[in-house]
Amino acid sequence: MDYLDHKKELRHRAILMVGYVLIAIAVTMATIVLLYQAYGFGIGKNGTVIQNSLAFFSSQPNPAQIYVNNKLEPVTTNTSLVLPAGIYRIRLTRSGYRDWQRTIELQGGDVQHYDYPLMIPIKLDSNKVKTYTAAPGLMTQSPDRRWVMIEKPNTMISFDLYDLQNSPLKAPTDVTLPANLLAKATKSESWKLGEWADDNQHVLLQHNYDGKTEFILVDRKNPTQSVNLNTTLLANPTKLTLDNKKYNQYYLYDAASGTLQSASLQAPTPITVLQHVLAYQSYGSNTLLYATTNGAPPGKVLVKLKVGNQTYPIHAFPAGTTYLLNLTEYSGTLYVAAGASSQDKVYIYADPVGQLTAVPQHALAPAQVLHVDAPDYLSFSDNAQFITVEHGTQFGVYDIENSRGYSYVAAHPIDTPQAHATWMDGDRLTYVSSGKILIFDYDSTNQQTLVTASSSYVPAFSPSYKNVYELAPSTTAPGQFDLMQTFLLTPRDR
C-alpha cells in the first residue's frame, strides 16, 4: 500500500510542498497586480509601467459629450474616465449650449471630481415677471436660494416675496412690516443687507436714516413678528451680526469704544465679550476671529482667535484702517483667513489651534499667502472650498481641496456701485460688467456673459440653477425697473 512506501510518501509531500509554493506565488502576484491597479498602475502601449488617474465629469444639463485633447470619448457625462497622469484639455459640448472647457492636470493615482460644469444656452430667453415704478431699495435672496425679497419702491416697509421653488414663478406674496417698527426719517433713508439666519426665514437689515443706523430683524413668514433690535436690546451699536447664524442671538460692536458684546432675544441685556476690538468675524457658537490693539507693539495690530475661553495668536499686521477676517470649516478642518489692506497680503491658516497646540513656541505656518494690492474684500465660496480676496478686478483665490492658489486680473470692469464680485455658487463668481451679468469659474476660466442687469442688485439664481432673476432698467419706460426671469436651459430641456 502506498502510504506504507516511505519513498512514495516523501515524493508525495514534495509535490504538495511545490504546489503550495506555486499557489502562494500566484496569490502574491495577483495581490500585487490588484494593489497596483488599485493605485492606478497599468501597462502603457510601449510596455512601460504607468500610473493612471480617475476623473469624474458631470454637467448641467446632462448628458454632454466629452472631448479629451479634441478627441471625442465614447461616454458622456455623468461618468468617469481612466487617464494616465498628464495634462489634458477637456471640452464638454451639448447641442444648443456654449462649450465648457478647461485644462486639467492629473497626477498618478489622482481621483478628481469635476461636478460643477454649468452649460449656458447659446441663446438666452427671458420673461418679464413684474415692472416696478422706480428702483427698489433692496433685493436679497435667502441662503437656500428659495426666497427673494424685493422692496416695493418708496415704501420702506413693504416687500414682494418670491418663491423661486415654484415653476412657473407665481405672483409674489406681500411682506409688510409694522408701521411703527422703524424710526421716522425726516431727510433720507435706505436699506442695507446684513445677513440671513440659517432658518431662511429671518433676515437682518440695516436701516440707515438721517445719518443714523438701526438694525431690523425681518420675519418674512410672520412680518408682524419683526423686531427693531435697537429698541429691544436697548443698544445703539455700530455693527450688529448674528451669532452662529441664529436669528435670536447677536454680537453688538461699538467702533468708538472698541467693545464687542453679546445678547439674545431671551437675554436682551448686552454682555461684554471683548474690548479694544478693531474688526471681528464669528463662526459657530463659540469662535471669534478679531483684530485688536491690546498687547500689540507700537504701529502693529494683532489678529487673535478666541475659541471658548482660550485665545490663540494668529498674526501681527501693520496698523491700518481695513482688516480682512474670515473663518470656516472645510472637511472638518478649521481654516482662518486674515489680512490687512496696508500689507497687500492675506494669510490662510489650516487648523491653527492644532498647530499652536502641537508646537506652541512656533509661529503659525500659513497654508497659502494670497497677494492682492490693497485687498478690501474676503469671502468663502458657498461650499467653503475656495477663498477669494479682491480689490477691484484683482483676484487671489485659494483652493483648499487641491492646495492650489490662483492670481489674476479680470478682463472686464466691475460696474459701480458694486465693490466686488460675489459667489454665484460653490465654484463660480459673478458680477455685473458693462450692464450685463458676467459669471466665471473660480480661476477665471469659462467666462460667460448673460443678460442685462442693474449693478445695484446681486442676481438671484434659482435653487436648481435653471433660472436667474435680475432687476434691469426698463427698456420701454424710463425710470422704471423690470424683474426678469432668464432661462438657463434651452426650451427642450425645461
Phi, psi of 24 (to 5 degrees): -60, -40
What pLDDT is stored for residue 321 in this prediction? 84
What pLDDT is stored for residue 166 in this prediction? 87
Q: Whole-angstrom Cα distance, residue 440 to residue 429?
A: 6
Sole residue written with cell 442693474? 454
Least Cα distance to 193 among 215, 163, 175 occurs for 215
What is the DSSP-derived secondary structure letter of residue 16? H
Q: Whole-angstrom Cα distance, residue 163 to residue 147?
A: 5
Q: Whole-angstrom Cα distance, residue 267 to residue 4?
A: 95
Q: Whole-angstrom Cα distance, residue 148 to residue 457?
A: 12
Q: Whole-angstrom Cα distance, residue 249 to residue 86?
A: 51
Rounded to 10 degrees, the C-alpha dihedral 272/273/279/281 comes to -130
Q: Is 3 helix (H, G, I), strand (E, B) or coil?
A: helix
What pLDDT is stored for residue 36 in this prediction? 46
Contact 386, 397 (CB under 8 A): yes
CA 171 to chain centre: 30
Q: Whole-angstrom Cα distance, residue 228 to residue 225?
A: 10
Q: Whole-angstrom Cα distance, residue 114 to residue 465?
A: 17
Least Cα distance to 270 among 257, 287, 281, 284 occurs for 257
In terms of pTM, does the model score above 0.85?
yes
What is the DSSP-derived secondary structure letter of residue 489? S
Sole residue written with cell 485633447? 69
Q: Whole-angstrom Cα distance, residue 171 to residue 193?
A: 24
Least Cα distance to 143 among 159, 157, 164 occurs for 164
Q: Which three cell numbers stand for residue 15?
A: 509535490
Q: Whole-angstrom Cα distance, residue 462 to residue 489?
A: 12
- Render pLDDT for 462-489 as a digit per residue (tens, 0 to 9): 999 999 999 999 999 999 999 999 999 9
What pLDDT is stored for residue 280 in this prediction? 98
Sole residue written with cell 492606478? 40
CA 395 to chain centre: 15
Contact 181, 228 (CB under 8 A): yes
Strands 189-196 and 202-209: antiparallel
315 Cβ contact partners less than 8 Å away, ≥ 6 residues apart: 302, 303, 338, 347, 364
For each of the chain's 494 residues, which pLDDT tens digit applies?
Answer: 444 566 666 666 666 665 565 666 655 555 444 444 444 555 445 545 467 999 999 999 999 999 999 999 999 999 999 999 999 999 999 999 999 999 999 998 989 999 999 999 999 999 999 999 999 999 999 999 999 999 999 999 999 999 999 878 999 999 999 999 999 999 999 999 999 999 999 999 999 999 999 999 999 999 999 999 999 999 999 999 999 999 999 999 999 999 999 999 999 999 999 999 999 999 999 999 999 999 999 999 999 999 999 999 999 999 988 999 999 999 999 999 999 998 899 999 999 999 999 988 888 999 999 999 999 999 999 999 999 999 999 999 999 999 999 999 999 999 999 999 999 999 999 999 999 999 999 999 999 999 999 999 999 999 999 999 999 999 999 999 999 999 999 999 99
**Residue 30 CA: distances (Å) to CA of 37, 49, 443:** 10, 16, 43
Q: Write the DSSP string, 57-125.
A: E--BSS--EEEETTEEEEEESSEEEEEESEEEEEEEE-TTB--EEEEEEE-TT-EEEE---BPPBSS--
Q: Whole-angstrom Cα distance, residue 95 to residue 24?
A: 55
The dihedral through the CA atoms of 175, 178, 182, 184 has a sign that is positive
Q: Whole-angstrom Cα distance, residue 141 to residue 119?
A: 23
